[in-house]
A = this chain, B = another copy of it.
Amino acid sequence: MLEALREEVLQANLELVRHGLVLYTFGNASGILRAEGLVVIKPSGVPYEKMTPEDLVVTDLDGRVVEGSLRPSSDLPTHLALYRAFPTAGGVVHTHSTYATAWAQARREIPCFGTTHADYFRGGVPVTDDLAAEEIQSDYEWNTGQAIVRRFAGCDPLEIPAVLVAGHGPFTWGRSATEAAHNAVILEELARTALYSLEVRSDAQPLAGVHRDKHFFRKHGPKATYGQK
């Protein structure tokens, strides 16, 4: 199973490359085996084109390396914070994809302007608060995760499986690493389309709740009708 997860996490990382979400070694995807408490994550600063399943790093939920000779992504503690707080998350992805990062830098929630958005996210994609100076100075990456977790207090993270970290960029998640990467690709497209909608009309309005939920639940939950059975 760990081998299968290594392969899936590698493919999730490469999916970010295929869709133009990463430049050089930016970005990272991980996946988790819940029963074993093992996380598989991209190594730090290794070029995507040379990456093999063996280069991926396996850690426990405290971040101790269990397998692999490379150092894990420096964002590992943020991934771990999300796995600990969101028990339904099977995969986490972080990118600096252009449009989502632009919204994160502007500290503005991406409104749910249309049905494409509502097919994947049941509402706007929120922005975290800024970290306090002391949260930046020590345990920065872990504290980044805590800022995300605080922002999702009382929300189902699978209904809005994405966040914008203020002044930084997006994190997405999903039931698997594959789904987390898929959500990162979709988020980038939504961030782009939402910016253009604002340019077409600066007072563009979000979709009505009933319309949003119609689309979200066409694709998610027990009454989903999209796709092949």
Instruction: Give me the interface of A with B, judged by CB distance under 8 Å.
Output: 23-26, 43-46, 70-71, 74, 96, 98-99, 101-108, 113-116, 130-131, 133, 136-137, 140, 167-169, 182, 185-186, 189, 192-201, 204-205, 207-208, 210-211, 214, 218, 225-229
Contacts and interface: CB of A to CB of B under 8 A. Distances in A.
Given A133-B208, A167-B207, 11 more contacts: A44-B227, A45-B228, A71-B228, A98-B196, A105-B197, A105-B204, A115-B167, A115-B169, A136-B211, A195-B196, A198-B199
A46 B107 CA distance: 36
27 contacts: A43-B228, A45-B226, A45-B227, A70-B228, A71-B227, A71-B229, A74-B225, A96-B115, A96-B116, A98-B189, A99-B196, A102-B193, A104-B114, A105-B114, A106-B201, A106-B204, A107-B204, A107-B205, A113-B167, A114-B168, A115-B169, A116-B169, A131-B211, A136-B208, A167-B207, A167-B208, A198-B199
Contacts of A104: 114
A114 B105 CA distance: 6
A183 to B, nearest CB: 11
B228 A185 contact: no
